[in-house]
A and B are shown apart, each in its own frame.
Chain A
Amino acid sequence: MQKIYPNAEGALDGLLRDGMTLAAGGFGLCGIPERLIDAVVASGVKDLTIASNNAGIDNEGLGKLLRTRQVAKMISSYVGENKEFERQFLAGELEVEFCPQGTLAERMRAGGAGIPGFYTKTGVGTQVAEGKEVKAFDGEDYILERGIRADLSLIKGWKADESGNLMFRKTARNFNQPAATCGRICVAEVEEIVPVGSLDPDCIHLPSIYVNRLILGAPYDKKIEFRTVREREAA
């Protein structure tokens, strides 16, 4: 079983179709599967529903798929910093389901764990609760949220071994872990692929069972949204 593909286009071969649902990892531009997004753009597949915490920014990340009008619906918690998104949303060309960030993460986790729905107190008494079942547990109200099962997950990792065991780096883990588990197929791009046996089994963040296809995406030129620094004190 060979999971490693030569490039993003090859790794997505046969997996894309119009109207499908994607789950994508990343928070802002941190840990986004940029090679795979570029390949989805190039494929021309359209009417996509995408579950992703953010929607990229203009011309970066999922913003590229918005620019080419390949997205019909976003399921996201925060979509600021994106003018084209704003334009399509206000013009009614793009459907958006706003989902609280923790609920979105749990919907992915639950979907991947075979849990079709769960109760949460997040959003009780707000617009988010509209149309959802409310149930009281121990005197407190909770709303029913659905797990997300995506047709395809696109994630970005740091290091993987050839079997697909994968590690993330710092805050680039974010939604990549839950997104990976909720897809019927998961394609991962990483910065380094190492031989089996090179990674400590106790330090695997995402076991290989969740990674169906793998590409080496390096070299990366990682973007920073807000570069904030402090001055070095004089010695």
Chain B
Amino acid sequence: MPWDRNDMAARAAKELQDGYYVNLGIGIPTLVANNIPAGMTVTLQSENGMLGIGPFPYDDEVDPDLINAGKQTISELPQSSYFDSAQSFAMIRGGHIDLAVLGGMEVSENGDLANWMVPGKMIKGMGGAMDLVAGVKKIIVVMEHTSKSGDAKFIPACTLPLTGKNVVDMIITDLAVFHRPDHDSPFKLIELAPGLTRDEVRQKTSAQYVE
């Protein structure tokens, strides 16, 4: 049985370590915040200028000056700090963030990521995604294994415009987990969703990987 959105987020949460500073993208990556192991200190960064994202606020505590990068209202924690956008991306670009979890449209077998535009459709922009993949120490992409039309999304070479070249360290799909220890190595299939076989994953993947 394939993993659902929460399962995928929970799997990504297993990569967290005590003391990590982490940036979570919009969508499934945001759910990783609900899966931080008890007793572990993980500080979430919001690229619009905050460290220490708290939970959504109570209705009577909503503050228009306090939002996350998805423009949702949030709350602060006793250890939170605020800073400007240049400072925020200095910590991202400068390699101070330990882990980023992002969504993806396509990942290539050499670790290229495409997740910001589809030619012919309205371009909304890359936001902070290109900065995150260029600067954060470890990049996990969480995405459905295949597109709605059944096409593989982990493929030999990206067909969509890239967000970053040779930047992905781990891919978590609804079917499997792929990982590589460094950016010169191929991805390795390291985990299967319950009931899935290596053959089924192979059939739905056009990228080369090791098993």
Taking Cβ atoms with an 8 Å cutoff, the residues of A that contact B are 27-31, 53, 76-80, 86, 89-90, 96, 98, 100-106, 108-109, 120-128, 158, 168-178, 205, 222-230, 232
Contacts and interface: CB of A to CB of B under 8 A. Distances in A.
B71 to A, nearest CB: 4
Contacts of B89: 101-103, 105-106
Contacts of B162: 125-127
Contacts of B90: 106
Given A106-B86, A229-B59, A230-B55, 15 more contacts: A30-B65, A78-B125, A78-B126, A90-B122, A101-B128, A102-B89, A103-B131, A125-B112, A125-B162, A125-B165, A127-B161, A173-B49, A173-B83, A226-B73, A230-B57
Contacts of B72: 225-228
B173 interface: no
Interface string B120-133: 00111111111100
Contacts of B123: 79, 89, 96, 98
A123 B134 contact: yes
Given A101-B128, A226-B72, A228-B56, A170 B65 contact: yes
B22 interface: no
Contacts of A123: 130, 134
A170 B56 contact: no
Given A106-B89, A223-B64, A227-B62, A79 B125 contact: yes
B82 interface: yes
A222 B190 CA distance: 48
